Structure formats: C-alpha cells, structure tokens
Structure 1
Amino acid sequence: MGVLRDHPELALFLCLAVGYLLGKLRVGPITLGGICGTLIVSLLLGAWAKVAVAEDVKTVFFAIFIFALGYMAGPQFFAHLNRRSLRYFSLCLIELVCVLGIAFGLAKSFRLDVGTASGILAGAATESAVVGTATESIAKLSGLTPAQVSQYQGHVATAYTVCYLFGLITVVIYTSQLMPMLMRIDLADASRALWERMRGGGGGLEGDEQEALPALVGRTFFVTHADGRTVESLERELDGRVTVEAVRRGSKLLTAPAPGFALILSDLVLLVGRRADVIEASRVIGPETAGLPDLDTHLATSQVAVTEKATDGRTLGALRQDHPEFARDGVYVTEVVRGDLRLPASADTVVHRGDVLTLVGARSGLSRITAKLGALVRNDTTDFVYLGLGIAAGSLLGQVVVRLGDVPLSLGTGGGCLVSGLLFGWFRSRRQTFGAFPPQAATTLKDMGLAVFIACTGLTAGPQAWPLLKQYGALLPVAGIAMVLVPASVSLVVGRTLLHIEKPLLIGAIAGQQCSTPAITSITQVARSSVPMLGYTITYTLSNFLLPLTGPLLVGVLGA
C-alpha cells in the first residue's frame, strides 16, 4: 500500500488495466465497458490505499479527451444543423430538458449537494464527459472550502458510478428489447423492410450479411450469349453497375478495352463490381469460369474526404448520377466513415462534408473522381501544431465567465475544449490540406484521456464513496433508471406521433440521444442490420456536444 502512495502512477495504470479487464465481462447483452470498470476499480483502490494524484493530471487528460471528442464530432455536428435534421434535434432537446429537470427536482426534493446531483445527471445520462465538466465547475464555485470542493467532487464520481450501472442496463434493455414490443414490430423485419424501401425495392439483407454494400469482386466469364456485343452495350445492360476491366482473346490480353470493342464467341471477360451485381452478368455474357492469373488486373484504393459544397447533402446514388466517371472508369464506393462511425454504403446514404469515402477502382479513374469530390486523405501523421493550438484556444475560452443574474456560468477547460474541438474539426473537414488528426490517433487519445481522468477522479473520491452510498441508499439506482425511462419514453411518443420517424431509425436515435454505444450495439444485433445506426449518428453527434454542457449549467444553478 505504501508503494502505491509513493508512486501514484503505478496505481493509475493499475486501475486502467484491471478496470478495462472488468469492463469486458458480459452478462447477456450487457457489458460495463472500460470506463465504468476503471471507475469502480479506482474507487475501491482509492478507499483502501488513499492514493493522491495531482489535480493537474486530471485537467490535462480531460482537456485532451474532450478536444478529441469535439474534433471527431465537429464536421457532422455542423452538418446536422439544418431543417432535415430538425426532427432528430428535437429528440436531443427532450433528453436535455428531462435530465436537467429530473436532476434539479431530485436535488431540491432530497436536498442533494451539488456533487451528488451532478453525478446522478452524468451517470443516468450515461455521458462520462459530464463528470469532467461538472467537477471542474464545482472547483470554481465561490464560498466553498477546499475540503467541501474535494467532498463534492468525490460525490460526483460515486453517484455517477451507481447511476451509470443502472442507467446502462436500463437503456440497453429498453431500446433493444422493450421498444420493439411497444411498437409491435419485429426489429429485424422492420429494418429489412426499411432497407428495401431505401434501396428502391429488392436487395434485402440476410441475417449473416452486413448492411453495407458487399465488397468489390472480380470474376471471369466465357462469352457465349454476348457474341458480337460491344463493351459499352454490355455495361449499359447491367445498369453501369459493373466494369469490363480486361478481355482475353486467344493468347492476346487487352486491358481497359474501349467502349466500342466488340466481343466474340469464346472471349474471356474480366468483370469488376459488387458481388451481387457481378453474379447477374452470367445471364448476359455466358458461364463463369475459373480465374486466370494473366487475366487479373490491379485496382487502387484511396480515401477521399468530402469537402466540395456541391457534394454536401447528396446521396451516394445521386453522386453516381452527377459524376458519370463512376460508371465510366469503374470506381466504386465501398465504405463511408463519419467520425468514428461506419455507415452503410447504400445508394440512399447521405454524404456530408467531412465524411471519408473509400473508393476502389483504376488509378486514373480515382484521380479524376477525387478532384471532384474533395481531397485525398493524408492521415499518416498528427499535426501537433493544429492540435496544440486547438487545446490552448479551448482552455482560454473556458476561462470566460458569464453571469446570468446571480448565477455564474463558465464553460471551464472541458467545455471550452469541446467547443474548440468542434470548430477545429469542422474547419479541418473543409480544408484537408492541414490539421491532420488520424481517426485512430484521435480515438486513442479520446479513450485514454477519459480513462486516465476517470481513474484520477475515482482514486480521489474513494474515501467519500461509502458514506454517500449509506446516506442515499436506493435513491441513486432509482434515479438512474428514471432518468433513462422518462426521456426515452417521451422521445418514443413524440418521435412516432409528431415527428413520424421510421421505427428502426427512431429506436437508434433514442440510443443516440443518450450517447449509449452499448445500446446501439445491442440494437444492431437484434436488428441484424445497421439500419438503426442511420438514426443514431445524428442524435449521438448532437448529444455528444450538448450533454457535457449540462454539467456546468446544473452546477451553476444549484451552486447559486
């Protein structure tokens, strides 16, 4: 125990290791997750060993976490500030009003201190970032002694842990199991039907298939039916969904044949396209044959960030119509990445600025398409100049205090870095020539920053945990459950009766308004489809920005 006190870094990383191991334990569809596991372990270790970690460590790592979170969400946050996303924005407002109202009501009814009320808000809303913004705001309240500040900050962590556990279980079961029953749907069938409508009929998803368009394939066919037909007419009959990449005639091999090139009996033709489309070619060309090594061709892959204004808001299907180069040059979109989320690459997937499209095709065709859609992503190294300036700007913004009557409101370092991250991430999405912050690097910094912050918070709060639990007993679990059920139920009714959101999308959106990754994971498993993810991404992005700001707001109101 003395070793841990003398070397707090040992205790810190021990909490991370054991906490993430605990977070991997699964009970049915429920897993605690690494962050909750880390907080539980750090609270226990803090109560036992009484390890002291410097306050600046928490501040630095939380700033890194919250900036990375904002940076990744920035492009889509601003893209969703439009009339088309207004329905989903309404769900986020319902979430904010409900959780703030319930937390404030509980604080007044049960005379909760500001730390406990903030912890209930953070845990029940399953939003870890609120822990940071609330604890930072408590430190800035006037009239509190250092001992009171430390005590209230400890109460934030303890209340968060209990409410998070019950809130997490509630949101997972309610969204994935009970909501489909309440709406009288089979979620898998409803998702399949919605997918078919989005694709214009046909193309339903099987249970063992992913909802994204299948991977690109190349196959060879023996010309029988297509004797005398040109390459252009062949591709036209297959609706431009496949490309003739090569033709072998006897011992001669012709790559990239001209549109007017005529096929003859016994030619071998190499087609490239998505699996389902290529399979249909046998009825037009002739039987499929085993692939030949000398008939193979090389396809290049590139990632393109959408930056062009004309492309923003268009569907992938519309982009193929706007740019004939897709069909002419045999270029295909195989993946759409939005922040840290992967979306179905269907014809109806809407593309926004900042999205990264994975294109596969001939190198010359890729170059032409890239020039029209945006910029080639070069995310091989992090631009630390841009990163450092962004966090510094956020820290300065967080020092600004605005008074509403007697209530002092301040974003704090956390809120300031969140706003800064949103702006810097959005600006980077429009100008991809600087400010690189690779998604893998951003995700690593985001996860590690939050994990270290939570571990520091738990180690400090450990000694106050047990007295708080004895004082409030069943209130914390009940609050965790209620603060999930109330906003989710209101959103369910409003979403169906007033906003008329499709049922699978509405279920995903409700999981997103609570920023619950375990919930959407369970939902997609039940749906056997990522169709609900299309609703989740919008509310998740908006709530990721709005919920952390509720911490300083609640602390400011109660502290006054």
Structure 2
Amino acid sequence: MDWIKETLSDTPEIALFLCLALGFALGKVRVWKISLGGVAGTLVVAILMGMFADIELDDQVKQIAFALFIFTLGYVSGPTFFASLNRKSLKYATFTGIEVVSVLLITAAAVLIMNLDVGTAAGLLAGGATESAAVGTATDAIGRLDLPADQIETLQNNVGTAYSISYICGLITIVLLSSQFFPLIMRIDLREEAAKLWAKLGGAADEDTAAPAAPAVVGREYRITAAAGRTVAEVQADLGDATVEEVQRDGEKVAFAPDLQLAHGDRVLVVGRREALVGSANRIGEEIALDESMAMSLDLADVVVTRKGYQATTLGEIRRDFADERQGVYLQKVTRGDHELPVKPSTLIQHGDTVRLSGSGRDLSRVIPMVGFRLDPAVRFDMVFIAIGVVLGFLIGMLVWTVGTIPLTLGTGGGCLLAGLLFGWIRSKRPTFGQYDSGAADVIKTLGLAVFICAVGLSSGPQAVELVKEFGWGLPIAGVAMTAIPAFLSFFVAWKFMKLPAPLVLGSVTGQQCSTPGVTAVQAAAGNATPLMAYTIVYAFSNVVLPLLGPIVVAMAHAIG
C-alpha cells in the first residue's frame, strides 16, 4: 500500500490516467435511467484518490487542459449561438435568463444562510446548474482575489468538492423532473405527444414536404418500354424524388442531358428513394439485373450551411424553394454543434448547421454551392487557426477591471470562451479555413475538461471530509434546490405561458442546464428526437452564458461574505 501511495505521489501522470480510466468506467454505470458520465465520474474518483495519497498535478497542465476545453466549447457553440439571435429562436433565451437569475439568487441565499465560503458557493452553483465549465472560470477568478496563497488554495479546492456533491444531486434531480415528474404534472402521455409532434413536423398536410428527407437510397436498372419517346426530364418528373443517372443504348453510354429522348430498349440507371421506385416499372419498363457497367457509387458530402437566406428556414421551405435544383441529392442528417437533429420538414435550419448530402458527384457539385461549403474529409484540425484563437483567449483573460477592491476579469476560461465564440463565428462565415472536425472537437473538449476536473479533484480530496462535516446535509439540499427551482420556473413558463408542445417544454428545461443526460432521458421517454428541437437552441445560449457566471458568483460571494 505504501508503494502504491509513493508511486502515485511521485508520478502524478500515472494518477491522472488512472483517474480517467476508472472515472469513465464509473461514468458508464447506470442506475435506473441515470449515469454520472465520464467527467463527473472522473471527479469522484479523483477526490477519493486525493484522499488516499498526496497527489498534485502541475497548474500549467490544468490551465492548458481547461483552455483547450473552453475554447472548443465556444468554437462549436459560436455558429449556433449567433444564428439563434433571430425572431424565431430568441424567445428560447428566456429559459437561460431564468436559469441565470435563479442560480445567482439561490447561491446568495445559501451564502447568507449557511455562511458558505467563496469556493463552496462557486462549486455549489456550478454543480447545481450542472455546468462543469463554471468550475474552471470560478477557480481562475478565486486565484485573482487579494488573499493569502494558502487561503486561495483552500477556496479553490472547495470548488471541486462542493461541485461533486451538488452535481450528483442536480443530475438526479433534472433527470427525474424532466423525464418523469413534469409529464405527470401535465397529465400527458409523453410518447403519444411526441408522436403527434413528430407527425406535425412531418408536414402531413403538405404533400410537397411529406416524404421522408433521409430515405434509404437505392439504384435500379430498367429496360425502356413504357417510357419510350419521353425525355429524361419527363421521366424524372413522373417518378418524383428519383433521378436518371445513366443511359446506355446498344451497349454504349449516351451523353446525358435532361432533354435526351429515350428509345425502346435503352437501359437506364435510376437512383432514388426506395418508396419512390416501388411500382415504377409500369412507367419506365421492365426492371432488369444491374449490369456492372451501369453500377455507380453515391458520394457523401458534409456541408456547412452558409447561404444567407438560411438564417432560420425550415427544411420544408428549402425543399419547396429548390424542388428542381435539388433533384438527385438526398439529405441524410442534420447536425447542430454536438447534436443530431430530426430530419423532418419543420426542422429549423440555421446558419452554421452541418448537413450530410448524398448523390452522384454531378448532382452534388451542382447543389452544394447553393447550400454552403463542403467540408474536406481529409482535414480534421486547422492547427494554425485554432492555436491563434487560444492565444487570443489567453490575452483576453489577462485583462482585469477593478471595481472597488474586487478585481473583475474573465480569466483564462472567459477569455478562451469568447475567443472560441468569435473564431467559431468567423469560421461559419468563411468556412474555407479553420476547419475543426466534430469528432476531433469532441475528443479535445472531453479530454480537456476531464484532465482539468481530475486536477481539481486530486487537490480537493484532502479537504473533502472536512467540508462535508462543516456543512452536512446543507450542500445536497442546496444542490437540489439549485436545479429544481429554475427547472420548475422554466417548466411553467414554457407550458402555461408559451404554450409549447410537451416535448419542446422538456427539451427547453434540460437545455437551460446543458444537461445531456437529462435530454437523453427525455428522448428515451418520448421515443423520438423532438425534444432536441428546443434543447439545441436553449443549450446554445446556456452553454455560452453559464460558464461566465464563475467570476460573477466569486465576486458576489466575496462581497456578501
């Protein structure tokens, strides 16, 4: 046992990766519908390991990890955040406003009632709001207080311990409220309501947009009989969402053109939705075995939406506006930030969203410029652009404004967040540079936050027992209140005042806390992805605003105390 302690103390890098391994394993353990997730699991393991052995990670490691996380967070959220500043989406900022005001008032009350120190107050807010990024911004702000070094260290350690306690309470609370109790209060069957909304989003009343937007695309070969004498364009118009891609006559390929007149015995390759081709032999001719010489591969393209008219446009509107031009191109999925949206006609498409299109190279090259910029699959990470953004974030974080005796600064966290927002927005406007693949961004974001949280947990371990003894059940109760009160307020605003459909009500409530476990539980209860329609918009606002509460709560608690 002594050897293990010495090894962990002498080689903290081993302790770091051991915490990551055990923490992410713990995060996968599911009790009913609730799991901690990798980051929270890492914090719990790190605190326990910190209580077992004296382990300290270098502060620069912690700072670099958090800077990469928070910059990436802003970079990914930037396009969605700015695109949501429109008439259709801005109303959802109400829920972020409720969250911000509520958690600050509850924290102030907890400081006065329980006599919380600055670090515990900041950790309580970050955990109750289930916003891990606020841990970093608060820790950085505490480091700039005019206090002795040992006192600052104690306060910073208290942030992690209080966060771990209130986060677990907040996570359980938001999952139970959003997926179980709120549907009971509304007296609804959430699955039934979600199915109704899904059908409504499908535009059943509008035949032009009723077809699925992400079909199973198939290819069929026909020998022309019924369509003899008709042009390619006429056949395509008759088929609907399908295209003639190749024509062979007497064993030779014929130069393709929409006005090409088909002759009896021609062989044609038709590509389209499976349901569009069912029964099409009666209109074209006999379906025959696909000849290898006619076989073709459909290309896939991820395209960033940059068209100016797509600030807040539904898929159905886009399909109607480009009914002819989009022929032969099929929408596979829509991604906003880290989340995949339901591909339905009423889905709102915003500037900066990424759509995956499939079709022949000829059709894609025609349609992609109408939509936006095609991502280069060979580029995962534009190091030049990203590194310059992080440097700017550090510089912004060095700016300090003194109000009375309290230094106010965004710190590394706030500076890198704002730089990320700015660079992400620039990237959405000029997508020819600055590419940051979503997979790479997710790895950087998760690893950066996990390493930072691990460092916080290891240093917090020795004080965890004392902090729990000092405040007892007060911290868990305050953590539940920090989550439940703003959730109830937003629930009633969305349900009674905004009259939103039930899935959007619950998506908004989970979005205001950036609670991925919460919206996952709601989706499971709903049976489809309709809650994401509101979640992604509110998430974009809260993901930007909540991390900035770190310096604010530190200044507030310091002033009250």
Same fold (TM over 0.5): yes
Report the alpha carbon displacement of residue 287 of structure 1 after superposing the two structures with TM: 7.7
Query: Contact conserved, 1:244 with 1:256, CA < 8 A, in 2?
Result: no
1:115 to partner: Cα distance: 0.9
Alignment partner of 1:189 is 2:187? no
What are the superposed Cα offsets for residues 479-499 of structure 1, whole Å, 9 maximum, x if unpaired?
Answer: 222222111111111112222
Do the aligned residues in 1 keep the contact of 2:55 with 2:459 (CA within 8 Å)?
Answer: yes
Greater Cα offset, 75-84 or 368-377: 368-377
Conserved in 1, the CA contact under 8 Å of 2:67 and 2:416? yes
- Residue 216 of structure 1 aligns with which residue? 217
Compared with structure 1, are the counterparts of its residues 272 and 190 closer, same or farther at alpha carbon in structure 2 (3 Å cutoff)? Answer: farther
Partner of residue 110, structure 2: 106
Which of 30, 35, 48 does residue 34 from structure 2 map onto? 30
**Post-superposition offset of 1:285:** 5.0
Change in 2 beyond 3 A, CA 1:275/1:183? farther
Residues 1:353 and 2:351 are matched in the alignment? yes
CA distance 1:321–1:212, shift in 2 (3 Å): closer
CA contact (8 A) 1:245 1:257 kept: no
For the structure 1 residues 279 and 175, does the alpha-carbon distance in structure 2 shift closer, same or farther, using more than 3 Å as the test? Answer: farther
Matched ranges for 1:454-533 at <5 A: 454-533=453-532
CA contact (8 A) 2:88 2:312 kept: no
Alpha-carbon separation, structure 1, partners of 2:298 and 2:224: 23
> Aligned residue for 1:241?
241
Query: Following TM superposition, by how much is the alpha carbon of 1:453 offset from its aligned partner in structure 2, in angstroms?
Result: 0.3
2-side partners of 1:82 and 1:327: how far apart?
27
C-alpha deviations, 1:202-242, integer Å up to 9, x for none? 799xxxxxx9723422234676765665443333234x322
Tell me what 1:207 maps to.
none
1:506-530 Cα deviation digits (max 9, x unpaired): 2112111110111111211222211
**CA 1:295/1:203 → structure 2, altered by over 3 Å: closer, same or farther?**
farther
Whole-angstrom CA distance in 2 between matches of 1:385 and 1:17: 31
1:53 to 45, 50, 57: 57
Q: What is the rounded CA distance, in whole Å, between the counterparts of 1:278 and 1:403 in structure 2?
A: 69
Q: Percent identity at matched positions? A: 44
Q: Deviations over 1:234-263 (max 9, x none)?
A: 33234x322122456785665856345347
Change (3 A) 1:7 1:512: same
Which runs of structure 2 are paired with 1:6-45 in the superposition (5 Å)? 6-45=10-49
Aligned position for 2:331: 333
The letter of the residue matching 2:499 is H
Question: Which one of 163, 168, 181 corresponds to residue 160 of structure 1?
Answer: 163
| Contact 2:381-2:434 at 8 Å conserved across structures | yes
Task: Say what the alpha-carbon RMSD is for the aligned residues.
Answer: 2.5
Aligned pairs for 1:77-156 within 5 A = 77-142=81-146, 144-156=147-159
Q: 1:407 to 1:288 in 2, by over 3 A?
A: farther
Paired residues in the alignment total 550
Q: For residue 336 of structure 1, report the CA deviation from its aligned partner.
A: 1.6
Residues 215 and 471 of structure 1: is their aligned pair in 2 closer, same or farther, counting only changes over 3 Å? farther
- The one-letter code of the counterpart of 1:491 is S
CA separation of 1:475/1:250 partners in 2, compared to 1, >3 Å: closer, same or farther?
farther
TM-score (norm 1): 0.92
Could you say if the C-alpha distance between residues 280 and 488 of structure 1 is closer, same or farther in structure 2, counting changes exceeding 3 Å? farther
Q: For residues 386 and 43 of structure 2, what CA distance do their matches in structure 1 show?
A: 28
Query: CA shift at 1:546, angstroms?
Result: 0.5
- Gap change, CA 1:86 and 1:367, over 3 Å in 2: same
Quick check: 1:320–1:326 contact (8 Å CA) kept in 2? no
Residue number in structure 1 paired with 2:302 = 303
User: 5+ residue gaps in structure 1?
Assistant: 205-210
Give how far 1:390 is off.
Answer: 0.8
Q: Provide the C-alpha distance between the structure 1 equivalents of 2:144 and 2:539, rounded to a whole number of angstroms.
A: 29
SS of the equivalent of 2:446 reads helix
Matched ranges for 1:340-489 at <5 A = 340-378=338-376, 380-489=379-488
CA contact (8 A) 2:224 2:262 kept: no
Matched residue type, 2:511 = G
User: 1:53: how far off?
Assistant: 1.6
CA positional deviation for 1:63: 0.6
Runs of 5+ unmatched residues, structure 2 = none
* Separation of aligned partners in 2, 1:530 and 1:212: 15
Report the Cα distance in structure 2 between the residues aligned to 1:485 and 1:212, rounded to whole angstroms.
Answer: 38
Q: Structure 2 CA distance, aligned partners of 1:68 and 1:399?
A: 19
For residues 284 and 516 of structure 1, do their structure 2 counterparts lie closer, same or farther at Cα, with a shift above 3 Å needed? farther
Q: What is the letter of the counterpart of residue 241 of structure 1?
A: D
Contact (CA 8 Å) 1:325, 1:331: kept in 2 or not?
A: no
Q: Which amino acid aligns with 1:170?
A: T
User: In 2, distance between residues paired with 1:263 and 1:179?
Assistant: 63
1:171-227 deviation digits (Å, cap 9, x = unpaired): 1121112222222222222222112222221799xxxxxx97234222346767656
CA change 1:195–1:122 in 2 (3 A) is same
Q: What TM-score comes out, normalization by structure 2 length?
A: 0.92
Amino acid paired to 2:245: E
Residues 293 and 10 (structure 1), Cα distance of their counterparts in 2 relative to 1, 3 Å cut: same
1:261 to 1:410, Cα distance in 2 relative to 1, 3 A: same
When residues 280 and 139 of structure 1 are mapped into structure 2, their CA distance, relative to the original with a 3 A threshold, is: farther
Please say if residues 248 and 254 of structure 1, whose CA atoms lie closer than 8 Å, have aligned partners that are also in contact. Answer: yes
Contact 2:145 2:406 in 1 (8 A): no
Cα offset, 1:123, TM superposition: 0.7
Residues 50-83 of structure 1: per-residue CA shift (max 9 Å, x gap): 1122222211111111001100101011111122
C-alpha distance in 2, partners of 1:14/1:405?
Answer: 44
Q: Which residue is 1:208 aligned to?
A: none
The structure-2 alpha-carbon separation of the partners of 1:203 and 1:41, relative to structure 1 and needing over 3 Å to count, comes to farther
**Could you tell me how far apart the structure 2 residues matched to 1:263 and 1:190 are?**
52
Contact 2:86 2:312 (8 Å CA) reproduced: no
Aligned partner of 2:306: which letter? T
Query: Counterpart of 2:140 in structure 1: which amino acid?
Result: E
> Partner of 1:346: helix, strand, or coil?
coil
Aligned-partner SS, 1:26: coil
- Choose 315-324 or 127-136, whichever is displaced more: 315-324
Quick one: distance in 2 between partners of 1:543 and 1:310?
26
How far apart are the structure 2 equivalents of 1:554 and 1:421?
Answer: 22
C-alpha distance in 2 between matches for 1:274 and 1:479: 54
